[in-house]
Structure 1
């Protein structure tokens, strides 16, 4: 394919480079590429979309990241670079307010959205043609599979025969426990030999799904100084190189909770035993973070916790939270909630949730709560999918300079983890110790 610009031509194979032929020609529903750094996966994806929007009349693209503001320095910039590489920048109008790109000859658009604004995600329309393509950049950051499913389902309806619907995902892999691996990459095909020699391995390639792993060896545009970075990483930090260099899945290093398992159990039978205390915790969220509710039974004697229910949703107003708690039958239960939302707690208390109270959250309360929960064996009901995702990926933070673990958790995968800590605060408050004195325990 050639793109004409006033008698000036660009030769795509020269610009795109090698190794991505299968990716470039694939037209199935899902096209996912994980890989190490410097593998040109995002670069190639941006080129593909600019070239194909210009080639296929009536096609439009939605670009999604977890946080909207991160588009500016990533996908928005990458697509502008692609336009310049293809020498068609003058044919596009790129604006940041609203953030969109318009192909001037036809009016086709590239639209940018973030999962931190769910209302804008679900109400996307285009003036010209059809919204047939979605690009999830840094797809690994999408912790909740339901967020992906909602957008996937929104790409529906009849389209002309010259177009096709497709969702593209690009990301750097990390924990092998992510839902992306189980859903798209668990094929049993590793092909590590090609990944090491050629920088690319294809795991699945059928009518519905193409999944690939690429790494820096697939990028012929890297110079010697770039390659030296990877050689040094391989020598000095093999574990990091396996993920960031080779592009393979990793296992979360420094897991905070490890004495847990997924297990079916009958909640009614457990309650009948009368050996458990019911603990409910609530972490507020709205646009960027979800509201997270967690429910568990705690046996202080046997040191066992059974996590039996959860809720995990963005965009919830106080009335929505109230209705949810009432619907689940917890309106008369004691619920410990994030004290940062004192106004919301008072509103809920006055409107039908009388036993909700604020967590103390004193100095070092995060570490103290973690240490307390680490003393228990945890059983998680399979329906608590978001809790399982978080507990798998909740790890100790690492000093970026030294690579050593810090005595604090990462600020991710922690919405249900925080609610869980709040829920057991009443058990941590020893008999006879007031909430005001709790701060001395946590120091």
Structure 2
């Protein structure tokens, strides 16, 4: 039998969090603070330690779970060298601990009716992990879930809801609810243990990542406070402040107002950058944009990009793509995306597109998690502490795709069409 030491696996700095048994166990922190990986290992360990316990893993949108929490939990199983004790089926989300039949289940808050009917085959559903809790825009949504975690447990078990998130906006309900409406890094009462983690707590970070944080600390101290230390706030110098997360039905929007139009944009990537596709409803009369779909994947070949577009049902729609990839656009057209067009780049086109988009109120559907991530991190460049009139070349793949999608409005309908 292989024996491992948990301390060797998770490292240091999470002792209190690891052992805590408050009903609410909350951690906000910067990227690179190893919070998600630590929670994943902790949850696998707990299922194996506490007979009859089961875990429900929640994100705002169900289809984001497979490549985030589920992947982290499978990583944790392998990290703990216990893969022979777990069933990890490819065709479904549920993970099962084979010796007892205990389970890890997955659900999204975009299907509230399914949440109320979740049951386990063996034991009790006593553990809940809500990842990226910041994406839950309304406290009422959380309270509906919270009310389902109840019931009498045997003495060896306890109920606990674990929430993890990046802090970002200081106005979010999470700060008031779990940090006592303060800017303190820690908070604790009879029901809540809330803490803050940062990159210095992750001894597994590589030298390049550490160097980037140290450069940010010197050159962009306000951003470092949020992205490096996990303090409440927003990224400094955001390009767009005119957006919010909103759950809406795009089909109903289009059916109820025939003046609205759907527009689509595509930015190419491959090895280091993702190919980014965005779908947006344009309300010119009221100056509103409703972003309702996306894909955001690396290493996609052109035929695979075409297939992603087909799967989502947009193969007959007009799509504006990065004009720097004329060959890719032609290949995608030959794969059945007949109305794909190339964008009309030119001097000043990026700022022109940004200024146009800044005139709108933007609503982003919660399932568009990568769009939300880019909106939170798309900032103006800085030099020697001075903000420049140029957007940084980072977190801009979907932002570029959005500009392409809206180009026919911002430029009065001018397109370069490949024939």
TM-score, normalised to structure 2, is 0.61
Whole-Å Cα distance in 2 between the matches of residues 8 and 169 of structure 1?
32
Would you say how many aligned residue pairs link Structure 1 and Structure 2?
285
Give the equivalent residue in structure 2 for 1:227.
Answer: 210
SS of 2:364's equivalent?
coil
Residue 65 of structure 1, aligned match among 30, 34, 59 = 59
Give the equivalent residue in structure 1 for 2:38.
Answer: 44
Residue 260 of structure 2, aligned match among 361, 364, 385 = 361
Residue 245 of structure 1, aligned match among 224, 228, 231 = 228
* Conserved 8 A contact 1:338-1:359: no
SS of 1:95's equivalent?
coil
What displacement does 1:249 show?
1.2
What displacement does 1:245 show?
1.1
What displacement does 1:140 show?
0.4
What displacement does 1:151 show?
1.1
SS of 1:121's equivalent?
helix
Please show how residues 121-160 of structure 1 align to structure 2 within 5 Å. Answer: 121-160=115-154
* Conserved 8 A contact 1:233-1:241: yes
What displacement does 1:96 show?
4.2
Unaligned ranges ≥5, structure 1: 1-6, 191-200, 258-287, 293-336, 343-357, 372-398, 416-439
Who wins on radius of gyration, i.e. which is larger? Answer: 1
CA 362–8 in structure 1, closer or farther in 2 if over 3 Å, else same: closer
User: Structure 1, residues 166-216: CA drift from partner, whole Å, max 9, x if none?
Assistant: 0000111111111111111135462xxxxxxxxxx4x21233101111010
What displacement does 1:144 show?
1.7
* Conserved 8 A contact 2:58-2:109: yes
Whole-Å Cα distance in 1 between the matches of residues 259 and 98 of structure 2?
56
SS of 1:124's equivalent?
coil
Please show how residues 325-404 of structure 1 align to structure 2 within 5 Å. Answer: 339-342=253-256, 358=257, 360-361=259-260, 366=283, 369-370=286-287
TM-score, normalised to structure 1, is 0.58
Please show how residues 400-411 of structure 1 align to structure 2 within 5 Å. Answer: 406-407=357-358, 408-411=360-363
Unaligned ranges ≥5, structure 2: 263-280, 289-348, 368-408, 413-419
SS of 1:181's equivalent?
helix
SS of 2:155's equivalent?
coil
Residue 412 of structure 1, aligned match among 364, 375, 386 = 364
Instruction: Kindly report the root-mean-square deviation, in angstroms, between the aligned alpha carbons of the 2 structures.
Output: 3.3
Whole-Å Cα distance in 1 between the matches of residues 41 and 111 of structure 2?
27
Give the equivalent residue in structure 2 for 1:380.
Answer: none
CA 157–232 in structure 1, closer or farther in 2 if over 3 Å, else same: same
Please show how residues 297-312 of structure 1 align to structure 2 within 5 Å. Answer: none
